[in-house]
A and B are shown apart, each in its own frame.
Chain A
Amino acid sequence: MSDRLPGFSTLAVHAGAQPDPTTGARATPIYQTTSFVFNDADHAASLFGLQAFGNIYTRIGNPTNAVLEERVAALEGGTAALAVASGHAAQVVVLQQLLQPGDEFIAARKLYGGSINQFTHAFKSFGWNVVWADPDDIASFERAVTPRTKAIFIESIANPGGSITDIEAISTVARKAGVPLIVDNTLASPYLIRPIDHGADIVVHSLTKFLGGHGNSLGGIIVDAGTFDWSTGGKYPMLSEPRPEYHGIRLQETFGNFAFAIACRVLGLRDLGPALSPFNAFMILTGIETLPLRMQKHCDNAKAVAEFLAGHPAVASVSYAGLASDKYNQLARKYAPKGAGAVFTFGLKGGYDAGVSLVSKLQLFSHLANVGDTRSLVIHPASTTHSQLDDAAKVKSGAGPDVVRLSIGIEDKEDLIADLEQALGA
């Protein structure tokens, strides 16, 4: 019995999975069932009371989903994880554990447009107030802290411009403020960046993107780093106070350094309901097995395409942190030495019309609202993902009218460059 530390690729294939005890099936079975039989009344009561480990109902937990959860927790270096229906669901469930109506959270201004909408509008109706800060100006996070601040939220690699966030600097602000740092690691995946190593307390993902990787299944996940002490000062009553939902259990006291993941499951997922289908969990698990191979190819292709675009006369600018000349290149070298991701933007000299023309002429790139697919994707954020923002907010979030976003796939890079060349040139 050795305590050897397996590598990332080994964990990507094995963590959380083992041959099925009943059948010996080596691939993780899809437990497509709503519910699970109890041994007897006492067993049922133990499970409902959180006294025993086991399955009750797929809205609360499912064996296929559990394999996915443990695998992502292992890849991120967390203590536990909870899979949910989408990345957006992950964000709702996380903040429900942390914020009471009237509380605030600080969020980096450079985020996926859907998150900006969710934070600005949907969360406002819950009484959760977002305060924006600029990830390029760490002091703006410090200035935003108030006694009602309960969390800080950033993206490791920010959508759409592919900028790299200084996670350690912002984690210092969070520690000083006594609040957890939540990092959306969707665009990096743990293959490129492990935010917990840099001070994140909670990591969230849209599994729909690089982790699943094949553009076929929605999913989201929450990873508990096990690093935050929830017990101080009654600031996080969902974790520190007796829960009436469970006859007075205190979750931190009972579950220690994975209490946050348990809170997300038994207070968030159970009561809000955004459960992940076990079929989707299976598809995403299969995707994760090849994450290291795919992610390296995504990054290598992205760098080649970004270099091509940077030298093209029709292109005004390329925002890719993997380019030596990029503003974020130093941060990319520090946080993502294997590659700066595969989602980035570029500006066209011909502005909005040139963007529309390019999208219509591309033959391999698909025009759609997703990233992190095996296929290369293109979108014009100003008219789609970021269209609900006003013009000033579009520019601030890196989605001005002349900007085109690419998500580079794992095709042959020569074919991607040829496609862009014909679409830009003609």
Chain B
Amino acid sequence: MSNFVNKKRRHMNHDAYPDNYIRAILNSVKSIAMVGASPVNVRPSYFAFKYLAQRGYDMIPVNPGHVGKELLGKPFIASLSDIGRPIDMIDIFRNSSHIMPVVEEALTLDPLPKVIWMQLGGRDDAAALKAESVGIKVVMNRCPKIEYGRLSSEISWMGVNSRTLSSKRAPAPTQGMRLSLNRMSVGGGDTAASDRAAKNKTEQS
């Protein structure tokens, strides 16, 4: 059962994503530009950047405040327009009120990114609508690190309900290895609490 963006009804239900939608995104994108990436190693963006790099994604840190420095060996870029090569996904680590300008800049890129992802706590339905209207897949209020960890069941080490099952023997994970995300899904996800958190959010760096 596939639940990708329906051709007649172009827009996702952004309250609960089918696992197949998230799985297809994480299985297909290779390069990810992270807007708002922080070099401070206790910030969520640092966690996610490092994890996704270790899982083999081509990570590009975008943050005008840190140009001239590097994040885990990757030079900071000032803006999406300065990347100068096609990117598959833009991961926006900014709070909801700063999302629209990033999406508007993303829509000027040629070629367009395939996916725009807004982090846990980030949601802007109008920006999502703009992106979806030109065929870009949108994920809001989710963390790609958590979703990758969940669908691979790697996050189960922390007692998290991966909402997946498998009777297959997985290879022993090693550093830098891509993990299989193709486990059987136990169904839906509830984001009501994190949606409330997004609405109440006042600060995010």
Which residues of A are interface residues toward B (Cβ below 8 A)? 1-6, 10-11, 14-16, 18-22, 24, 39, 43, 46, 49-55, 61, 63, 65-67, 69-70, 73-74, 78-83, 226-229, 231-232, 246-249, 252-258, 261-262, 265
Contacts and interface: CB of A to CB of B under 8 A. Distances in A.
Interface string B8-38: 0000000000111001000000000000000
B159 A253 contact: no
28 contacts: A1-B23, A1-B182, A10-B165, A15-B165, A15-B186, A16-B162, A18-B165, A18-B167, A19-B168, A20-B169, A21-B171, A52-B50, A52-B51, A55-B157, A66-B159, A73-B160, A79-B160, A79-B161, A226-B193, A227-B192, A228-B193, A229-B200, A247-B41, A253-B44, A253-B120, A256-B121, A258-B158, A265-B159
Nearest to A258: B160
Given A18-B166, A55-B157, A257-B191, 20 more contacts: A1-B182, A3-B18, A11-B186, A21-B171, A22-B172, A24-B169, A49-B42, A50-B47, A51-B41, A52-B50, A70-B159, A73-B161, A80-B158, A80-B160, A228-B193, A229-B197, A249-B42, A257-B190, A257-B193, A258-B161
B184 interface: yes
Interface string B151-164: 00111111111110
Residue from the set B18, B47, B120, B157 with the largest chain A CB neighbour count within 10 Å: B157
B193 A53 contact: no
A39 B175 CA distance: 8
B169 A256 contact: no
B204 interface: yes
B41 A231 contact: no
Given A3-B18, A6-B165, A21-B171, A256 B194 contact: yes
Interface residues of B, number: 56
Contacts of B126: none
A73 B20 contact: no
Interface in B136-161: 143, 146, 149, 153-161
Residue from the set B162, B190, B193 with the largest chain A CB neighbour count within 10 Å: B193
Nearest to A249: B42
Nearest to A243: B42
A53 B154 contact: yes
B201 interface: yes
Contact of A49 (B41, B169, B182, B191): B41
Contacts of B41: 49, 51, 247
Contact of B20 (A1, A16, A74): A1
Given A14-B165, A253-B44, A256-B143, A66 B193 contact: no
Contacts of B157: 53-55, 61, 63, 66
A53 B155 contact: yes
